[in-house]
Chains A and B, each alone.
Chain A
Amino acid sequence: MTKKKMVFASRQIFIPIAALLLLALFNLAVDPSFFKITLGRNSAGDPVLTGYLMTILDYGSEVAILAIGMTLVTAACGGQDISVGAAVAIAGSVILRVLVGIGGDGTLQAPIIVGFLAACVVAMLFGAFNGVLVAIFNIQPMVATLILYTAGRSIAAWINNNELPIVTDKTFTYFGGFIPGIPIPTPFFLAVICIAITLLALRFTTLGLYTQAVGINASSSRLNGLNPVFIKWLSFVILGLCVAVVGLIKTSRLSTINYSVIAKDIEMDAILAVALGGNVLSGGKFNIMASIVGAYVIQFLTTTLYKFNVSSDALPAYKAVVVILLVVLSAPAIKDKLMGMVKKQKGVG
């Protein structure tokens, strides 16, 4: 009974982990130095760990954080938010606006936490806007979020009056870099915090059950006393919170912002992470940990490709191959065949 349960529960997370192992094995075979991690010091003299794996942890964390919210949106609404990148630009712009202001000299005008909280509020508001379109007006998520996808970066530029504020304060760089004395990149810690909060929320609230119920059968959920509109809306607000965290990391990395390219195409990575996690993109059951592993798999792939000097404008093509593989493998016909093969193998063994 329990063994059976474990097999059942682990089946979904098996997909991204298998992909991760595959990539790891490939790198191990081609160049084992891929896994080398060295302890050095950064220009501020603080200890830092460097190496491809740390890079993966560092950059993968951005997508991992977004994957949390994207998984919930996908599960509850059966669609995806494609305005995430634009929303990150807005959140980042808000942070800079609060911290430096228009025409500022780069010194902090307000504590960083204030800037971050402001970004949280704004990003959640924009999430709420998307949520209203999807949950109340029943617009397809991709269509609804197309609005913000189109307008978001212009709004971000407008917030700072088209200027490019630069933060000179050193502490601001900690969030996208390293906290002095801790050699592991901060984005990873932020991701861990977000994941921990999410897991606690799933453990101590009924968010998971409600989201899945609404995603699978909204009509039935309503008759069981749930409010599908609110739950769909809530998923977008939670995604907004994730967006604000990523906005902080992104702006912190460079201490400034470039409205048109910041977090460009990150929504596609986030959606891909959800898909790689084996979650059904038409909503329903979900597994957040699988999405998060999926996010790191994508960064693993990206970093591997960079290592082999694959032109960065060719990256989307490789990701497309992954998508095709995923789609093919998750098609019911192929799935059944594979299952059959696995069963046969087991029978022989």
Chain B
Amino acid sequence: MKKSTIAVMLTAALAAASLAGCGGGSDAPATQAAATTAAEAGAEKEEQAEDAADAADAPEQAADGELIKVGIINNDPNESGYRTANDADLKKMFCEENGYEASFAYSLKNDEQITAAQKFIQDEVDYLLLSAADTSGWDSVLKDAQDAGIGVILFDRTIDASEDLYLASIVSDMAKEGETAVTWLAGQNLDSYNIIHLQGVMGSAAQQGRTGALDEKVAAEDSWTLVTQQTAEWNSEKAQQIVQSVIDSGTEFNVIYAENDDMAKGAVAALDKANISHGVGKDVIIMGFDCNKWALQELLDQNWNYDGQCNPFQAAYIDEVIKKVQKGESITEKTIIMDEKGFDASTITADDVENYGI
């Protein structure tokens, strides 16, 4: 029963979308009609139909009447809330309604990603969007893409390759995220900083950026010490065990600098068990990254102190780049750094949680 309903809805949606695509700008009324029919199948279709109509007006669509083929290589959306939000954002932007025909490939492994890229090149996509698992090993495959006339746009993560090989790189400046966080921490004016540093998967750009700033500060200041510096591999369970181990050893600490929210959550679970207070005005300062909605809620509840944003919404930036290229404009700035904030528990508002939570 349920299955068939979904199938009907899907078919209706597809029909609406493909009609919109084929009709292009020349036959707007027909598109609208199709959209109306589709809207009857399910309420949510309405939105899509509107999008479809919008897309019909897009310049590139009008120009050649064809969808822009994009191949998107991303990390596993189950990896973290950040990635889930990122994937959802991309899926929302690169749909047929917006004039795109998108194929997705997911992997946390570099070699699998490279294989996917080669496949996309064979499929003759127009643009290759890439969030690389690893920074190295991409030169030859990107050269192949360039030879095939495929525009490569990096998002979320940079790679070690010549700038000529890609059109643009839309990234968070992880180092800047780290700096913002460390500057905030320094602003807390503690007498001494005994920090448990929970790192992400070693070698990832986020880990390197967020670790870098802290390492520098610890090296520079006498009052800053690292009680432990360990990778918990973005994993809350491991973070919990690591912090548990520090608590068991009886070592004093007053800051937990976790490079993502999950690890901060694991750390807090260990603190709760040992009755170590944490949050605003308490014994231990809790810092996280990524601005998950639930994490910002913890800030609002004063259980955590700081959360650094890592903006997952790159799709709009990518779309802008592609549109510029389609119009023949040149990209002046290769590296596009997104706006990112850091939230303080003492100033965060419920609106912030809604707007910036992922």
Direct contact of A and B (CB under 8 A): yes
Please list the residues of chain A having a beta carbon within 8 angstroms of any beta carbon in chain B. 33, 36, 40-45, 48, 50-52, 55, 59, 153-154, 157, 162, 164, 166, 177-178, 250, 253-254, 256, 258-264, 302-303, 306-307, 309, 311-313
Sorted nearest first, the 5 A-B pairs with minimum C-beta distance are: A306-B245, A260-B78, A261-B235, A259-B78, A43-B272
Please tell me the number of chain B residues within 8 Å of chain A, measured between CB atoms: 42
CA distance A33 to B248 in the complex (A): 9
Between-chain CB contacts (< 8 Å), 12 pairs: A33-B250, A52-B248, A55-B248, A177-B273, A253-B240, A254-B236, A254-B237, A261-B233, A261-B236, A261-B262, A306-B242, A312-B242
Interface assignment of B185: CB less than 8 Å from any CB of chain A: no
Binds A, one of B79-87, B120-128, B169-177: B79-87
Are A164 and B81 also in contact (CB < 8 A) when A43-B271, A50-B248, A50-B274 are? yes
Interface assignment of B188: CB less than 8 Å from any CB of chain A: no
CA distance A55 to B247 in the complex (A): 10
Are A59 and B275 also in contact (CB < 8 A) when A260-B78, A260-B79 are? no
**One of B236, B237, B265, B273 near A42 (C-beta < 8 A):** B273
Interface assignment of B230: CB less than 8 Å from any CB of chain A: yes
**One of B77, B233, B277 near A312 (C-beta < 8 A):** B233
Interface assignment of B232: CB less than 8 Å from any CB of chain A: yes
Whether B275 contacts A43 by the Cβ 8 Å rule is yes
Whether A55 contacts B245 by the Cβ 8 Å rule is yes
Are A51 and B274 also in contact (CB < 8 A) when A261-B234, A312-B238, A313-B231 are? no
CA distance A177 to B269 in the complex (A): 9
Per-position binary interface string of chain B over residues 255-290, scored 1 when its CB falls under 8 Å from any chain A CB and 0 otherwise: 000000010011001011111110000000000000
Shortest distance in angstroms between A100's beta carbon and chain B's nearest beta carbon?
12
Whether A51 contacts B269 by the Cβ 8 Å rule is no
- Inside 8 A of B230's CB, which chain A residues have their CB? 306, 309, 311-312
- Inside 8 A of B266's CB, which chain A residues have their CB? 254
Please list the residues of chain B having a beta carbon within 8 angstroms of any beta carbon in chain A. 76-81, 84, 108, 201-202, 228, 230-238, 240-242, 244-245, 247-250, 262, 265-266, 269, 271-277, 292, 294
**One of A177, A178, A259, A261 near B237 (C-beta < 8 A):** A261
- Inside 8 A of B77's CB, which chain A residues have their CB? 157, 162
Query: Most A CB atoms within 10 A — which of B249, B272, B276?
Result: B249
CA distance A40 to B274 in the complex (A): 7
CA distance A177 to B108 in the complex (A): 32
Whether A256 contacts B84 by the Cβ 8 Å rule is no
Shortest distance in angstroms between A150's beta carbon and chain B's nearest beta carbon?
12
CA distance A307 to B292 in the complex (A): 30
Shortest distance in angstroms between B246's beta carbon and chain A's nearest beta carbon?
9
Whether A303 contacts B237 by the Cβ 8 Å rule is no
Residue of A nearest to B244 (CB): A55
- Inside 8 A of A263's CB, which chain B residues have their CB? 237
Whether A303 contacts B245 by the Cβ 8 Å rule is yes
Whether A260 contacts B76 by the Cβ 8 Å rule is yes
Are A306 and B236 also in contact (CB < 8 A) when A33-B250, A311-B231 are? no
Whether B84 contacts A162 by the Cβ 8 Å rule is yes
Whether A40 contacts B80 by the Cβ 8 Å rule is no
Whether A307 contacts B234 by the Cβ 8 Å rule is no
- Inside 8 A of A45's CB, which chain B residues have their CB? 275
CA distance A33 to B228 in the complex (A): 18
Whether B202 contacts A313 by the Cβ 8 Å rule is yes
Residue of A nearest to B203 (CB): A313
Whether A59 contacts B241 by the Cβ 8 Å rule is yes
- Inside 8 A of B242's CB, which chain A residues have their CB? 306, 312
Whether A153 contacts B78 by the Cβ 8 Å rule is yes
Query: Most A CB atoms within 10 A — which of B244, B245, B250, B294?
Result: B245
Whether B202 contacts A51 by the Cβ 8 Å rule is no
Whether A253 contacts B269 by the Cβ 8 Å rule is yes
Whether A42 contacts B228 by the Cβ 8 Å rule is no
CA distance A43 to B282 in the complex (A): 12
Residue of A nearest to B83 (CB): A260
- Inside 8 A of A259's CB, which chain B residues have their CB? 78
- Inside 8 A of B262's CB, which chain A residues have their CB? 258, 261
Whether A306 contacts B274 by the Cβ 8 Å rule is no
Residue of B nearest to A306 (CB): B245
**One of B80, B231, B245, B271 near A307 (C-beta < 8 A):** B245
Shortest distance in angstroms between B3's beta carbon and chain A's nearest beta carbon?
15
- Inside 8 A of A50's CB, which chain B residues have their CB? 247-248, 273-274
Are A178 and B233 also in contact (CB < 8 A) when A162-B78, A253-B240, A307-B245 are? no
Are A307 and B294 also in contact (CB < 8 A) when A43-B275, A260-B79 are? no
CA distance A146 to B180 in the complex (A): 44
Are A307 and B238 also in contact (CB < 8 A) when A157-B78, A312-B232 are? no
CA distance A303 to B244 in the complex (A): 9
CA distance A53 to B174 in the complex (A): 38
Whether B274 contacts A48 by the Cβ 8 Å rule is yes
Are A250 and B237 also in contact (CB < 8 A) when A42-B272, A42-B274 are? yes
- Inside 8 A of B79's CB, which chain A residues have their CB? 260-261
Residue of A nearest to B247 (CB): A50
- Inside 8 A of A55's CB, which chain B residues have their CB? 241, 244-245, 248
CA distance A164 to B292 in the complex (A): 10
CA distance A312 to B232 in the complex (A): 7
CA distance A254 to B55 in the complex (A): 43
Residue of A nearest to B262 (CB): A258
CA distance A157 to B77 in the complex (A): 9
5 additional A-B pairs beyond A50-B248, A178-B273, A258-B236, beta carbons within 8 Å, are A260-B78, A264-B237, A303-B245, A307-B248, A312-B231
CA distance A238 to B240 in the complex (A): 29
CA distance A306 to B236 in the complex (A): 15
Residue of B nearest to A31 (CB): B249
Are A43 and B247 also in contact (CB < 8 A) when A153-B78, A253-B269, A261-B236 are? no
